[in-house]
């Protein structure tokens, strides 16, 4: 699932194709017409579908549509790779412990929107990113992987976000593998 440029989506597809993790991205769902993620999916040969949140009556209706798409495609694990919508218990309940999100902060600090701006405003010297399982409380699910990024003198949102995003590309595939490993039968 992606809403924007799709760089995390592309990083995950490339990692999967390299066998790290041993998984396949079977579909991308975007909620913004013409977003960069859909263009990347075309270039990468990954099927994609638009579910524009503006045409659904509420968040739960959008999430029901998402669940339908994912069940039709036989999806085992869902990744929110820059999905800029809060999800509901409809989606969370359909994929318990199988819904992974990437967030540009060292959770539990700086939850929600503009985490990079929040970090800069707080004057922290260390920022980063977190891949976590999604729970009903925003950005509060079980942490899978984190990466720290120093805040440098003169950093602004753009420069810090770019360095954080490079770490997101690194840790998201690892988080997907860890989440998948948790689902594998033990034996």
d(CA 28, CA 47): 6
Lookup: tokens for 29: 């769902």
What are the E-state strand segments in the chain?
28-30, 48-50, 78-80, 99-103, 126-133, 143-150
Helix ranges (DSSP H) in 129-184: 157-183
Q: Which of 53, 71, 103, 132 is catalytic?
A: 103
Three-state DSSP class for 73? coil
Verify whether residue 71 is a known catalytic residue: no
Lookup: tokens for 130: 């977190």
What distances in angstroms separate CA 30 from CA 8, 122, 164, one per listed residue?
13, 32, 22
Give me the active site residues, please: 103
């Amino acid at each position: 699932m992606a809403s924007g440029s799709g760089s995390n989506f592309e990083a995950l597809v490339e990692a999967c194709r390299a066998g790290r993790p041993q998984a396949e991205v079977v579909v991308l769902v975007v909620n913004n017409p013409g977003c960069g993620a859909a263009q990347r999916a075309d270039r990468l040969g990954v099927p994609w579908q638009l579910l524009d949140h503006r045409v659904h009556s509420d968040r739960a209706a959008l999430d029901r549509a998402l669940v339908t798409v994912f069940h039709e495609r036989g999806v085992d694990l869902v990744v929110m790779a820059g999905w800029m919508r809060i999800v509901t218990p409809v989606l969370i309940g359909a994929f318990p412990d199988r819904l992974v999100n990437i967030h540009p902060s060292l959770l539990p600090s700086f939850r929600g929107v503009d985490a990079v701006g929040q970090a800069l405003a707080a004057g922290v010297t260390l920022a980063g990113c977190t891949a976590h399982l999604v729970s009903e409380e925003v950005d509060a699910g079980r942490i899978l992987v984190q990466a720290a990024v120093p805040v440098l003198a003169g950093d602004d949102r753009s420069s810090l976000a770019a360095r954080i995003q490079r770490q997101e590309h690194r840790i998201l595939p690892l988080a997907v593998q860890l989440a998948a490993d948790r689902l594998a039968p033990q034996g």
